[in-house]
Amino acid sequence: ETGVTQSPTHLIKTRGQQVTLRCSSQSGHNTVSWYQQALGQGPQFIFQYYREEENGRGNFPPRFSGLQFPNYSSELNVNALELDDSALYLCASSDGWKANVLTFGAGSRLTVL
Amino acid sequence: GESVGLHLPTLSVQEGDNSIINCAYSNSASDYFIWYKQESGKGPQFIIDIRSNMDKRQGQRVTVLLNKTVKHLSLQIAATQPGDSAVYFCAENVHGGSQGNLIFGKGTKLSVKP
């Protein structure tokens, strides 16, 4: 059974650029949630995808968007990057949108200069 | 406002001792709580969970206690080992909310001295 895998592991962007982060969910999981974790903080919920549709969103602006594909993998896109977007972006998968237990990937570390 | 917080940002214990990590929550509508462990360079890893209709739940070397009266959650680790060194987060899920929307606290860093 494979876990949640994310790519890239690290990347550096400049202010105003766009970034796409990718996530492959754990085998058998059909729901993906994305979290942003600033340094020294707990993860903050961005949004969740179930059956290729957004199924809940946290307090993040529209320039944070996502996709889920038929194989349940997912992308997080961030447009017009700001310095405060520098963080670890975590993807978590679960078996159904009602599942409470999330399996997290190791994250993508984004630095915005 | 709705928040999950921790009383102690850092905790240092001797190997073999018991550890207690505390967490306060403010949303009385929360009906599910989880403890996660995050090691350096890794994502959060599930440790144990508890529903609001329970006061205590035990796992292997870990126990979670829930006191709804004072909105307090604790994680007890028995016979703490060096491998337990990590940041521990409590998280809550508000009843009726999106199941993926866990509200995390800031975390407590546990350091185990050999």
**What confidence tens digit (pLDDT) does each residue in A22-78 have?**
999 999 899 999 999 998 899 999 999 998 999 889 999 999 999 999 999 999 999
Would you say B34 and B46 are in contact if contact means Cβ atoms under 8 Å apart?
Answer: yes
In whole angstroms, give the CA distance from residue B109 to residue B114: 16
Residue A8 tokens read as 């890239």
In whole angstroms, give the CA distance from residue B89 to residue B86: 10
Distance, in angstroms, between B41 CA and closest chain A CA? 7
Distance, in angstroms, between A30 CA and closest chain B CA? 12
Question: Bridge partners of A22?
Answer: A7, A75
Cα torsion B58, B13, B89, B46 to 10°: value is: -50
How does pLDDT run across B19-46, given as a tens digit for each residue? 999 999 878 888 889 999 999 989 999 9
Nearest CA in chain B to A56: B98
Would you say B102 and B2 are in contact if contact means Cβ atoms under 8 Å apart?
Answer: no
